[in-house]
C-alpha cells in the first residue's frame, strides 16, 4: 500500500481586522484525511463556497502555510512542520490545474511557452528533450503540438485550453495533480471530455488526482474517495460510491438533495399554456 495523501490535524486560521479584537476564521479545522491505495486514485473534495475546499488545495500546493498540522503526499511531507522538499522537487511531485484556464495563462504570451518553461525549469530537461516532453504531454491530452505552437489563449476554446493546462501539469511527471474546479468554466457539453481525461490518466498514466468541485454528479462518476467539507471541517470521508449512495451526515444529504436531477421534481411543473 502506498500512502497517497494524508493530512494530520491540518488547521488554517485567517485573521481579519486589527491587531486587537480582530476576527479569526477557521478555513481548515482539524482536517484529517488518509488515503492509502495500491493504485492511483481520484479523491474528490466537495462542499459549498467558503467550506475550505480551495484553502485545502492551496495548502497542499504550498500557496498557503498551515497554522498547524501537516500534509503528506506520497510519503513526502509537503506542508506544515517537517516539509523539506525543494521547490523543484515539490513541483515534480504535485502539480496544479486551476479553475479558469484563460486566467492561468497570460494573453500576451503563446501558451506553449508555458509548457516549455515547465519542462526546462521544473523537469530540468534540455531544449530537445523539452520539445519531446511537450509533444508527448499534448498527445496525452489528445492535442497536436503543431496545432498549438505559437498560439495565444484567445485562439482556443475553454475546453482546449484546459486540456493544455492538464498537459502542462503532466510534463514533470507528478504523482498527484490538484485540480481546483477544473470544469466549472467549461461548456456543460464539453465537461465530460476533461473528466474522462482525468479518468484515463489515472488508469493509464498512473496519476492521482485531488478533484475539487461542487458538482457531485461528476465527483460520483470519477472518484474513488470523497471528502465532504463544510465550514472548514471534513464532515464525511470515505469511498465515493458508499458515501454518496448512503450518506450518513446531514450536510451530505442536503448537498445531494440540492442537485437538480432530471429524475424527480422539487415542485410540480404543469404546462398551463397551449
Partner 1 sequence: MIRLNDLKISYRIGSRVIDAVDGVSLTIPEGCIVGIAGESGSGKSTLMKAIYGDIQAPMYISRGSIDYGFKGSDGKPVTTANIRDEWFKTISYVPQSSMNSLNPVIRIGKQFTDFPGTDRDKKRVLERATAFLGKLGLPAEVMTSYPHQLSGGMRQRVMIGLATFFQPGLIIADEPTTALDVVVQKEILMLLMELQEEMNNTILVVSHDMGVHYQVTHKMLIMYAGKVVEYGDTESVFADPQHAYTKMLIDSLPTIGDDSMRGVMASAAGAGGDRAFGVGTGLVEVKPNHFVSLANETAGVPA
Collapsing DSSP to helix, strand or coil, 24 comes out as: strand
Q: Which stretch binds partner 1 (CB under 8 A): 25-33, 54-62, 172-180, 211-219?
A: 211-219
Cβ-based nearer residue to partner 1, 119 or 222? 222
Give the containing element (helix H, strand E) for 12. strand 2-16
Write each residue from 165 to 204 as x if it is in contact with partner 1 (CB under 8 A), else as -, in one continuous string: ----------------------xxxxxxx--x--------
Is the Cβ–Cβ distance between 156 and 111 less than 8 Å?
yes
- Residue 261 within binding range of partner 1, rule CB under 8 A: yes
Among 21, 126, 154, 269, binds partner 1 (CB under 8 A): 269
- Residue 84 within binding range of partner 1, rule CB under 8 A: no
- Report the sign of the C-alpha dihedral through residues 152, 154, 155, 161, in that order: positive
The 8-class DSSP code of residue 233 comes to: E
Cβ-based nearer residue to partner 1, 22 or 150? 22
Is the Cβ–Cβ distance between 42 and 72 less than 8 Å?
no
d(CA 233, CA 60): 16
Among 16, 19, 23, 272, binds partner 1 (CB under 8 A): 272
CB of 126 to partner 1, least distance (A): 35
- Residue 218 within binding range of partner 1, rule CB under 8 A: yes
CB of 19 to partner 1, least distance (A): 23
- Residue 265 within binding range of partner 1, rule CB under 8 A: yes
Residues forming beta bridges with residue 225, ordered by sequence position: 43, 239
Cβ-based nearer residue to partner 1, 81 or 258? 258
CB of 117 to partner 1, least distance (A): 30
β-pairing verdict for 42-46 and 225-230: parallel
Cβ-based nearer residue to partner 1, 83 or 217? 217
- Phi then psi for residue 55, to 5 deg, are -60, -40
d(CA 119, CA 127): 9
d(CA 80, CA 65): 7
Residues forming beta bridges with residue 14, ordered by sequence position: 25
Cβ-based nearer residue to partner 1, 159 or 174? 159
Among 20, 84, 127, 267, binds partner 1 (CB under 8 A): 267
Write each residue from 44 to 83 as x if it is in contact with partner 1 (CB under 8 A), else as -, in one continuous string: ----xx----------------------------------
Cβ-based nearer residue to partner 1, 13 or 217? 217
Is the Cβ–Cβ distance between 4 and 35 less than 8 Å?
yes
- Residue 113 within binding range of partner 1, rule CB under 8 A: no
Give first-to-last CA distance, the chain, whole Å: 63
Collapsing DSSP to helix, strand or coil, 27 comes out as: strand
Structure-block grid coordinates of residue 101: 484556464
Site residues (CB under 8 A) for partner 1? 48-49, 187-193, 196, 214, 216-218, 220-221, 244-245, 254-263, 265-267, 269-274
Amino acid at each position: 500500500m502506498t500512502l497517497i495523501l494524508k493530512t494530520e490535524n491540518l488547521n488554517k486560521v485567517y485573521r481579519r481586522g486589527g491587531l486587537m479584537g480582530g476576527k479569526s476564521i477557521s478555513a481548515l479545522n482539524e482536517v484529517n484525511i488518509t488515503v492509502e491505495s495500491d493504485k492511483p486514485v481520484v479523491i474528490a473534495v466537495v462542499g459549498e463556497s467558503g467550506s475550505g475546499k480551495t484553502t485545502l488545495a492551496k495548502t497542499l500546493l504550498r500557496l498557503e502555510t498551515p497554522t498547524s498540522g501537516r500534509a503528506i503526499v506520497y510519503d513526502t511531507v509537503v506542508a506544515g512542520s517537517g516539509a523539506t522538499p525543494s521547490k523543484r522537487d515539490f513541483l515534480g511531485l504535485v502539480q496544479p490545474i486551476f479553475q479558469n484556464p484563460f486566467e492561468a495563462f497570460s494573453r500576451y504570451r503563446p501558451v506553449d511557452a508555458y509548457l516549455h518553461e515547465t519542462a526546462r525549469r521544473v523537469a530540468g530537461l534540455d531544449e530537445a528533450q523539452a520539445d519531446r516532453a511537450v509533444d508527448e504531454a499534448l498527445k496525452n491530452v489528445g492535442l497536436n503540438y503543431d496545432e498549438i505552437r505559437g498560439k495565444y489563449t484567445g485562439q482556443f476554446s475553454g475546453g482546449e485550453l484546459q486540456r493544455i493546462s492538464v498537459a502542462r501539469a503532466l510534463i514533470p511527471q507528478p504523482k498527484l495533480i490538484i485540480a481546483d474546479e477544473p470544469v466549472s468554466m467549461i461548456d456543460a457539453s464539453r465537461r465530460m471530455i476533461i473528466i474522462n481525461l482525468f479518468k484515463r490518466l489515472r488508469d493509464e498514466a498512473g496519476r492521482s488526482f485531488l478533484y475539487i468541485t461542487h458538482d457531485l454528479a461528476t465527483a460520483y462518476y470519477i472518484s474513488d474517495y470523497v471528502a465532504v467539507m463544510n465550514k472548514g471541517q471534513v464532515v464525511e470521508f470515505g469511498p465515493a460510491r458508499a458515501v454518496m449512495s448512503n450518506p450518513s451526515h446531514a450536510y451530505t444529504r442536503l448537498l445531494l438533495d440540492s442537485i437538480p436531477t432530471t429524475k424527480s421534481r422539487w415542485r410540480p411543473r404543469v404546462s398551463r399554456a397551449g
